Amino acid sequence: MSKHPSLKTLAEQLVARKATPSKVAAHVKTGGAWRDVQWGEVLDRVRALSEGLVDLGIKPGDRVCIHAGTSYEWCLADLALMGAGAISVPIYSSNTPQETAYIINDSEARLVFFDNDKPENGTPGRWARLRSVREQTPTVEHFVSFELHSSPDERLMSLWDLEARGRALLAQRPDALEKRAAEIKPEDVNCILYTSGTAGRPKGVMLTHANWVYEASAVMESGVLDPGERLLLFLPLAHSLARAVEMTWLGQEVTVAFAESIEKLVDNAGEIRPTAMPAVPRVFEKAFNKVVAEGRRGEGLQGTAFGWAMEQFERYAAARTEGRTYRSPQWSIAKRLVFSKVRERLQARFGGQVRAFISGGAPLNPKIAYFFELCGMEVLEGYGLTETCAPTHANLAGRNRIGTVGAPFPRMETKLADDGEVLLRGPNVMKGYYKLPQETAEALTEDGWLRTGDIGKLDPDGYLRITDRKKDLIKTSGGKYIAPAELENALKSESLVSQVSIQGDKRKYVTAVFTINEENASKWAQEKGLPYRNLPELSKAPEVRDQLQQAVNTVNAKMPSYATIKRFAILDHDWSQESGELTPTLKVKRRVVAEKYKSLLDTLYEESNDFGRRA
């Protein structure tokens, strides 16, 4: 249950933190060393920042964007907005200038927080991106940077100058934060999260204080997290799962360590030794593929033994997926001699104290969950949407039914429509889409059920299994429906694969488009003495195609004939958000792939082609 069940708004929970000023709130790495941040410091800085915002003219209900990477400062800005009664509008740090401008204009934001102007992956820094669309975003009156110095000519203020401005006013109104918090109602909108979306324009999801207070309480009441948990946070705070972590941090007894970056995630885990870590499936896929690639590169008998052990694991995972118990002398030997060492190394890389990983945002391949379970670290898959403050269902440690997304949270209702669509009703369901009454009416029934757009199944114990997105189902020209996510998840466990998109809507059979993991493929080629030096060469290598064909054949063997992949293509480049094929949460935009690579796909449906083979 909630630690403070009488506190109905996030603002009340924020103010309540003054009762425990010496309690550790967060762990932040600065100057190469981790330091503990106490709630007294958090509240002191938030008070000053809130007063600064009010002095700039920010009023209750005003929208303010935060366009920055995940950090302690991001949360300070968010809590300061909460203390001012404003509505925060997060923007993914990777968004393009036009995507950013769209959200600023749609939300009519009056102020934008951002962190710095450092280029990332060939993309201009966030201040450069904001300046490039400044003339297109006329509602913005101020920009506040976490790291840059103030520049009045550019309407730019530093975070420390905003804090100093507010601190100068605190002597005159020391209890202003408490007074504003008392005016906020549970049904007031706290934030507008724009869906990253795999198709179409993003929609602004309005989530209230009551939504988030329930969500944070349910995370603890359900047993997903335990009091005293130490979480390592690297997910973008524009994502609903990360925001659920933030609100649980605010209202419950957990601490959060802010990872320096995704690149330093494993190093940070080894240093801070988290007990739980929320992530998206792509993180677990990369970790699994890295372990497999490293194991197979072992010299002599070591590499041979690992390859043999993985063959045993494949049999074990297949049996578990089919609901069978798997025992054999070979499997016992593989666990004792090979996987015990893998377990030690993998646990050490993540600090040795991880009780569980929490996976959400997209389907997780069961085989990868079985692998982590074998290594003593459960991956607890959950389910939810931006429209439900992220999780509505979750598996629990010791009660993990791999392949499902778990049972519903307390007071959440789940049912299936006649066509299998998952319908949800509960205290965390959104207020609606911002300025989109028609879309809101389409998503919410009159009696409060949310149409999720996901197809699922319920077992007798109420555990939910998601089979695909309703809009993603592929219907071949023969009238057969195929769930592409099932095929994609299975194929991504091949270490040479970076991304895959299953295609075939209104076509005569199913095809696939692959991109290659350059690091794994280069090392694989080097081990085999193959003369391929870069991604374009690797993508054309017959040995790479043969390896992918084997992966396709393995997946096809488990599918009905109409759902098997008949042909596939391999691209000479990878996909990214910048190139348009991926969402900020690394999900493939199937429709974008279908449109962008239409000519290539057309060749896969010709009687003879040079790009793919029949399986």
pLDDT of residue 610: 46
In the chain, what are the helix, strand and coil shares in percent, each to the nearest 5?
A: 40, 20, 35
Predicted pLDDT of residue 611: 45
Give the 3-state secondary structure of residue 360: coil
Query: Residue ranges per domain, the chain?
Result: 19-273, 473-604
pLDDT in the model for residue 5: 62
- Rg (C-alpha) for the chain, rounded Å, is 25
Per-residue pLDDT reduced to its tens digit, 319-340: 998 889 999 999 999 999 999 9
Cβ–Cβ under 8 Å, residues 28 and 37: yes
The better pLDDT of the pair 477, 419 is held by 419
CA-closest candidate to residue 365, choices 493, 272, 471, 277: 493
What CATH superfamily is the domain 473-604?
ANL, C-terminal domain (3.30.300.30)
From the number of C-beta atoms within 10 Å of its C-beta (0-12, 13-18, 19+), residue 591 rates as middle
The pLDDT tens digits of the residues spanning 592-602 come to: 999 999 999 99
Residue 301: which pLDDT band, with cuts at 50, 70 and 90?
A: confident
Three-state DSSP state, 226? coil
Digit-coded pLDDT (tens) for 172-196: 999 999 999 999 999 999 999 998 6
For 19-273, CATH gives 3.40.50.12780
3-state secondary structure 281-350: HHHHHHHHHHHHHHHHCCCCHHHHHHHHHHHHHHHHHHHHHCCCCCCCHHHHHHHHHHHHHHHHHHHHHC
Nearest to 193 by CA among 382, 447, 493, 430: 430
Residue 421 CA to residue 337 CA, distance in Å, equals 45
Q: Pick from 324, 320, 411: which is nearest to 372 by CA?
A: 320
Angstrom distance (rounded) from CA 417 to CA 592:
29
Is pLDDT of 614 > 50?
A: no
Instruction: List 457's β-bridge partners, or say none.
Output: 465
pLDDT of 615 reads 38
- Round to whole Å and give the CA distance between 570 and 588: 15
User: Does residue 470 register a pLDDT over 90?
Assistant: no
Nearest to 48 by CA among 71, 27, 79: 79
Q: Which element (helix H / strand E) includes 493?
A: none
Please enumerate in sequence order all residues whose Cβ is within 8 A of that of 584, keeping only pairs 6 or more positions apart, or say none: 92, 94, 95, 196, 236, 238, 239, 577
Res. 200 pLDDT band, cuts 50 70 90: low
Q: Looking at residues 143-165, what average pLDDT do you find?
A: 97
- Average of pLDDT values for 109-135? 95
Q: Tell me how crowded residue 451 is: count the other CB atoms within 10 A of its CB.
A: 16
Contact 194, 203 (CB under 8 A): yes
Q: Are the C-beta atoms of residues 510 and 504 closer than 8 Å to each other?
A: yes
Tokens 């064909």 belong to which residue? 549
Closest CA to 589 of 194, 196, 199: 199
What are the pLDDT digits (tens) for 201-247?
889 999 999 999 999 999 999 999 999 999 999 999 999 999 999 99
Which of 291, 284, 272, 290 has its CA nearest to residue 351? 272
Beta pairing partners, 588: 582
- Mean local confidence (pLDDT), 580-602: 89
Torsion, Cα of 108, 114, 119, 125 (10° steps): 40
What whole-number distance in Å separates Cα of residue 95 and Cα of residue 197? Answer: 12
Estimate to the nearest angstrom the gap between the alpha carbon of 80 and the chain centroid: 24
Decide if 370 contacts 489 (C-beta within 8 A): no
- Interhelix angle for 39-55 vs 72-84, to 10°? 60
Mean pLDDT for the chain overall:
92
CA dist., res. 451 & res. 238, Å (int): 22
DSSP state for residue 197 in the 8-state scheme = -
Burial class (CB in 10 A: 0-12, 13-18, 19+), 494: buried
Average pLDDT score over residue span 5-33: 94
Other CB atoms within 10 A of residue 90 CB: 24
Amino acid at 361: G
Cα distances from 594 to residues 315, 356, 454, 506, 591, in angstroms, run 34, 37, 21, 12, 5
Is the CB of residue 516 less than 8 Å from the CB of residue 538? yes
Closest among 414, 416, 361 to 390, alpha carbons compared: 361
Of 530 and 160, which is predicted with more confidence?
Answer: 160
What are the pLDDT digits (tens) for 514-550?
999 998 898 888 888 888 878 999 999 999 999 999 9
For CA atoms 48, 52, 57, 63, the dihedral sign is negative
Kindly indicate the confidence band of residue 197, based on its pLDDT and cuts at 50, 70 and 90. low
pLDDT digits (tens, 9 = 90+) for 365-397: 899 999 999 999 999 999 999 999 999 999 999
3-state secondary structure of 212: helix
Return the percentage of the chain with pLDDT > 90, whole number: 76
**In the 8-state DSSP scheme, what is residue 44?**
H
Output the CA torsion sign for 219, 220, 226, 228: positive
* Percent of residues, the chain, with pLDDT higher than 70: 97
pLDDT reported for residue 531:
86
Q: How confident is the model at residue 196, as a pLDDT?
A: 66
Strand partners, 263: none
pLDDT of residue 228: 96
3-state secondary structure 121-144: CCECCHHHHHHHCHHHCCCCCEEE
Per-residue pLDDT, 4: 57
Query: Which token pair is 273?
Result: 């030794």
**pLDDT given at position 478:** 74
CB of 357 closer than 8 Å to CB of 231:
no
428 strand-pairing partners:
none
Which residue type does 579 have? S
CA–CA dist 67, 65 (Å, integer): 6
The pairing of strands 204-208 and 432-433 is: antiparallel
